[in-house]
C-alpha cells in the first residue's frame, strides 16, 4: 500500500500531445471521486435489480403453494366474479376490492388485491392485502400483506434504499453519476499508441501480471462488452425517478406525446336510479373484445365517476396489447389505447420498463440484464479495492491536480451539458463547488491567522 494512486494514475501523464491526453487528468479525477462516492448506492441498487429481473421465476420458486396451480384437462377458468367473491370471503369485513392481475402462463394463480380505507391516512400508506386464487377452481390458496413480501421489499430498497423520498433522490443521483462514471471509464479505457495493437489489457484481462493488473483489467474490460446494455438499463431506470422522470413525463405531456386517457382518464356516466353497476365479468368480456390480454392488470373504480381500467403489459417483445377504459355504469368502452397508435415519445416510454428489467425479449435479455447488474457490482467493488490497495498508509491517496494542468474547454462544455441533462448531477456539482470554495476560504483564514 505504499504506492500512491497519483504515481501510476493518468493524472501523472503530461497532457498536450493530443486532445485526448489533455482530457485524461480531469477525467481521471472525476472518475475516481464519482466511483468512490456512488459505489455503495450502485452496489445495493444493482443487487436488488438483479433479483428483480427474475421476479416472476423466483416468486414461483419461493411461493409455489401461492403462485402455481394445476391446469385441468379442459383448461376452463371460473368466472372472474366467482374468483373475486371467493377472495373477498377469505378476508374480514372492511376490505374493498382494488385490483386483479394475471401473470403470463396458464399455471399461475390470480393476484386479487383488496384495500382498507383508514381515516387520516395517506393513499400510499393504505393497507393492502393480496389474495391468491386458483382461476380454475376459485379456491383461495392464501393471502398476505402486499407490501411486506420479499419482492415488494426488494423493490423498495431498489427505489429508495429504505430512505423514503430522500432515498429516491440518492438513488437518482447515484444512477446519474453512474452513467457519467461509465462514460468516463470508457474514455479512460480507450487504447492509445501501441496499446491499440494489443489484445491483452485492452480486450482480454491479464491474470499473469499480479493482482493490481488483474483488478485493473477486471474493473475495465468486462463492462466494455456490455457497456451499451448497462447504459440502457441505467438510463431507462431514470424514467421512474423523482426529478428526471417527472421532468421527462412533463415534457412528453406538454409536447402532446402522451395519449389523452393516460393524462386524464375518462369518467363514467352517472348511474341511473335503481340501476346496478356493471360487474367484472362484463368488464373483462368487453376488454378482451379489444385485446387478448394474456397478461394484464385490472383496476376497479373506487370513487364516483371512476371507470374500470384494463392494462396489457408490453414485454417479451410483444407490443400488440394496450389499455381499455370501461364505463362503470354501462359497461361501454370509453377509450382504448393500442401501441401502434401512440406517439413516438409514448412508444419509447412504454418500452423503458421492459428494457430496464430485461424483459423486452424474454429470457435472453433477462440474462443480459442479470449479467449487467453483476458487472456494475464488480466494477464498483474492484475500483474501491484498487484504491484501498494502492493508497499510501495514513493518506487518502486521491489523484491530485498537477501544476501545469488546465481543465480543457471540452470538459467544461461536457460538464455543462451533463448538468442540464441530469439535474441532480448539476445540483451535486454546485454543492461540490460550494464545498471547495468553503475549504479554500477556511484555508485562507488559517493562513492569515498563522501570519
Quick: pLDDT tens for 427-441. 988 888 888 788 777
Residue 76 covered by a domain: yes
**Pair (43, 185) in one structural domain:** yes
Going by their DSSP bridges, the two strands 296-299 and 140-145 should be labelled as unpaired
- The answer to whether 378 and 218 have CB atoms below 8 angstroms apart is yes
Could you tell me if 30 and 101 lie in one domain? no
Same domain, 40 and 172: yes
Q: Would you state the pLDDT for residue 356?
A: 95
User: What pLDDT, on a 0 to 100 scale, did the predictor assign at position 205?
Assistant: 87
In this structure, the strands spanning 128-133 and 140-145 are antiparallel
Residues 178 and 228 grouped into a single domain: yes
- Cell 390470480, located at residue: 110
Among residues 135, 170, 188, the one where a domain terminates is 135
Spatial neighbors of 405 by CB under 8 A, at least 6 apart, are 11, 15, 25, 26
- Are residues 41 and 80 both part of a single domain? no
Question: Can you tell me the distance from the alpha carbon of 48 to that of 226, in angstroms, rounded to the nearest whole number?
Answer: 19
Looking at the DSSP assignment, which residues form a beta bridge with residue 133?
110, 140
For 91, phi then psi, to 5°, come to: -110, 155
The residue from 135, 151, 182 where one domain ends is: 135
On whether both 187 and 120 belong to a single domain, the answer is no
Residue 175 sits in the same domain as residue 43: yes
CA distances (Å), origin 353, targets 125, 146, 239, 341, 347: 24, 21, 9, 19, 11
Phi-psi sector, 162: left (phi>0), alpha (psi -120 to 50), beta: left
Is 246 within a domain?
no
Is residue 200 a part of any domain in this protein?
yes
Quick one: 130 and 199 in the same domain?
no
pTM: 0.86
Q: Tally the domains of the chain.
A: 2
Phi, psi of 296 (to 5 degrees): -150, 170
Is 195 inside a domain boundary? yes
Q: How far is CA 222 from the centre of its chain?
A: 22
Q: Which of 396, 315, 321, 398 is nearest to 358 (CA)?
A: 315
Residue ranges in the chain modelled with pLDDT below 50:
1-13, 15-16
Round to whole Å and give the CA distance between 330 and 379.
Answer: 57
440 and 407 belong to one structural domain = yes
Residue 370, all three cell numbers: 442479470
Which residue, of 78, 100, 135, is where some domain finishes? 135
**CA-to-CA distance for 376 and 226, rounded, in angstroms?**
10
Kindly state whether residue 103 falls inside one of the protein's structural domains: yes
Domain identity same for 207 and 178: yes
DSSP state of 12: G
Q: Does some domain include residue 304?
A: no
Domain that holds residue 402: 10-52+159-238+365-444
Whether residue 177 is contained in a domain is answered as yes
Same domain, 227 and 163: yes
- CA distances to 44, 222, 270, 369 from 228, rounded to whole Å, are 21, 12, 51, 11
Residue 222, in any domain of the structure? yes
Instruction: Check residue 2 and give its pLDDT.
Output: 38
Closest by CA position to 168, among listed 223, 237, 117, 224: 237
Is residue 372 located within the same domain as residue 438? yes
Amino acid at each position: 500500500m505504499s504506492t500512491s494512486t497519483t504515481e501510476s494514475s493518468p493524472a501523472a501523464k503530461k497532457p498536450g500531445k493530443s486532445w485526448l491526453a489533455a482530457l485524461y487528468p480531469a477525467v481521471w479525477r472525476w472518475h475516481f471521486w464519482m466511483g468512490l462516492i456512488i459505489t455503495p448506492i450502485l452496489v445495493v441498487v444493482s443487487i436488488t435489480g438483479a433479483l428483480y429481473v427474475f421476479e416472476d421465476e423466483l416468486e414461483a420458486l419461493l411461493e409455489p403453494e401461492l403462485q402455481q396451480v394445476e391446469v385441468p384437462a379442459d383448461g376452463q377458468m371460473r368466472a372472474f366474479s366467482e374468483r373475486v367473491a371467493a377472495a373477498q370471503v377469505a378476508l374480514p369485513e372492511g376490505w374493498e376490492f382494488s385490483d386483479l392481475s394475471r401473470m403470463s402462463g396458464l399455471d399461475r394463480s390470480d393476484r386479487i388485491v383488496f384495500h382498507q380505507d383508514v381515516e387520516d391516512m395517506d393513499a400510499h400508506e393504505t393497507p393492502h392485502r393480496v389474495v391468491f386464487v386458483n382461476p380454475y377452481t376459485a379456491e383461495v390458496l392464501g393471502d398476505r400483506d402486499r407490501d411486506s413480501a420479499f419482492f415488494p421489499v426488494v423493490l423498495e430498497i431498489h427505489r429508495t434504499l429504505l430512505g423514503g423520498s430522500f432515498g429516491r433522490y440518492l438513488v437518482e443521483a447515484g444512477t446519474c453519476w453512474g452513467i457519467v462514471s461509465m462514460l468516463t471509464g470508457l474514455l479512460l479505457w480507450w487504447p492509445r499508441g501501441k496499446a491499440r495493437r494489443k489484445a491483452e489489457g485492452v480486450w482480454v484481462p491479464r491474470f499473469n501480471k499480479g493482482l493490481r493488473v488483474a483488478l485493473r483489467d477486471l474493473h475495465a474490460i468486462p463492462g466494455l462488452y456490455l457497456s451499451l446494455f448497462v447504459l440502457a438499463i441505467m438510463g431507462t431506470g431514470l424514467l421512474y425517478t423523482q426529478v428526471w422522470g417527472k421532468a421527462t413525463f412533463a415534457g412528453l405531456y406538454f409536447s402532446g406525446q402522451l395519449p389523452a386517457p393516460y393524462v386524464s382518464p375518462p369518467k363514467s356516466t352517472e348511474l341511473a336510479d335503481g340501476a346496478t353497476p356493471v360487474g367484472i365479468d362484463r368488464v373483462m368480456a368487453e376488454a378482451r373484445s379489444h385485446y387478448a390480454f394474456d397478461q394484464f392488470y385490472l383496476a376497479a373504480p373506487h370513487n364516483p365517476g371512476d371507470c374500470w381500467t384494463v392494462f396489457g403489459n408490453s414485454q417479451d417483445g410483444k407490443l400488440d396489447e394496450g389499455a381499455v377504459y370501461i364505463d362503470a355504469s354501462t359497461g361501454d368502452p370509453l377509450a382504448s389505447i393500442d401501441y401502434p397508435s401512440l406517439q413516438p415519445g409514448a412508444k419509447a416510454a412504454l418500452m423503458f420498463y421492459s428494457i430496464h428489467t430485461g424483459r423486452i425479449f424474454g429470457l435472453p435479455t433477462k440474462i443480459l440484464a442479470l449479467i449487467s447488474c453483476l458487472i456494475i457490482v464488480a466494477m464498483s467493488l474492484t475500483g474501491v479495492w484498487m484504491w484501498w490497495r494502492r493508497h499510501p498508509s495514513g493518506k487518502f491517496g486521491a489523484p491530485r491536480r498537477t501544476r501545469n494542468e488546465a481543465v480543457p474547454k471540452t470538459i467544461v462544455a461536457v460538464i455543462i451539458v451533463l448538468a442540464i441533462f441530469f439535474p441532480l448531477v448539476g445540483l451535486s456539482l454546485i454543492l461540490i463547488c460550494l464545498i471547495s470554495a468553503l475549504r479554500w476560504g477556511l484555508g485562507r483564514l488559517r493562513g492569515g491567522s498563522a501570519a
